Amino acid sequence: MPIDRTWKKRLRISRFSKRVQIVTTLFLSHPSSLDHDTGPGHPERADRVRVIDRMLEHERFQMLHRALAPGNDHEAVLRVHPFAFVEEIEKIAPKEGMIHLDQDTIMSPGTLEALAHGVGGAVAAVNEVMRGAAKNAFSASRPPGHHAEQALPMGFCIYNFAAIAARHAQAVHGAQRVAIVDFDVHHGNGTQSIFWSDPNVFYASSHQEGLFPGTGKASDEGQHRNILNTPLQQGSGGAEFREAWEGKILPAVRSFSPDFIVISAGFDAHHLDPLGGLKLTETDFAWVTGELMEIAEKQCKGRIVSILEGGYDIEGLARSVAAHVLTLMSA
């Protein structure tokens, strides 16, 4: 699709080279995210990326380096999702109207391009961070991804961008040990399933116990004890969240000794969010981001890529993303 002039103005389109000056935080997005139409009343809506774009226009973010997410990288997708599944998604994509892949997961005529740039954003973020052009990166696209299993879309998700980022880091940049950490209010069942038997990928999640999709039990450890879930009770706030991370997740990430970290950055654990029952504030997201950055600085040259997942209250999402990105920029 042609790039909207407004987006051209807002995004300082970058063409990185080996001689480019290192930037602290790279922000990747693309207007195609707006064209993934989920219909009236759906919580996963275009306003999510609109409010992020508006928030990041604030003068506090003038040093944030922005780039348009490139298009699809089929090879990157196929490292996670089987060819037959990808082929079927492309085949059934509607030319008009909308189709339901399940009760909540929808495709419209703009979905394939949104997915393409979601993949491209995740891949470009990994490329620039791994080769040292950026210290860290945040890719904001929709639909989200962490519920998508290898051959099963669900929970608004079709392709698993965090998994694609991790596999790309392994396959293209030689990452030996990748940690994926997830603070979305919902458990990332897709990510857990994809990496269940991979000893070189560690997946850790804090999420509301019993919430959709009902997975993420504390007893789930993975084939190589590479899975860690810390379910939180409904109504838990910052104190319980920080206790789970300080007591379990952060020590486990340190023990795993990753050389690359991917954050599944869902902000629907915010107290304003309509789809969850946790009581976090934006300061909690800033705190956990800072803690992960400290680990990254000591163990993997500061290399972090953050991928947007959930967050369905517009005000809560905007405030949380601002706190998250400002913390990333402090590296």
Short-list 179, 168, 184, 267, CA closest to 226: 179
Which stretches of 108-232 are DSSP H helices?
Answer: 111-130, 161-173, 189-194
The rounded Cα 51 to chain-centroid distance in angstroms is 17
Kind and range of the H or E run holding 261: strand 260-265
Q: Alpha-carbon distance 114 to 110, whole Å?
A: 6
**Distant-in-sequence, close-in-space partners of 6: CB < 8 Å, separation ≥ 6:** none
Buried-state track 47-56, b at ≥16 Cβ within 10 A, e below 16:
ebbebbbebb
In the chain, the N- to C-terminal Cα span, in Å, equals 35
Q: Alpha-carbon distance 218 to 122, whole Å?
A: 28
Active site residue 168: no
Cβ contact 216:192 at 8 Å: yes
Three-class DSSP category at 99? strand
Q: Alpha-carbon distance 185 to 240, whole Å?
A: 13
The answer, yes or no, to whether the previous bond of 213 is cis (omega within 30 of 0) is: yes
The sign of the dihedral angle between the CA atoms of 64, 159, 268, 300 is negative
Catalytic: which of 117, 147, 187, 324? Answer: 147
Q: Alpha-carbon distance 157 to 266, whole Å?
A: 13
Q: Which residues are catalytic?
A: 147
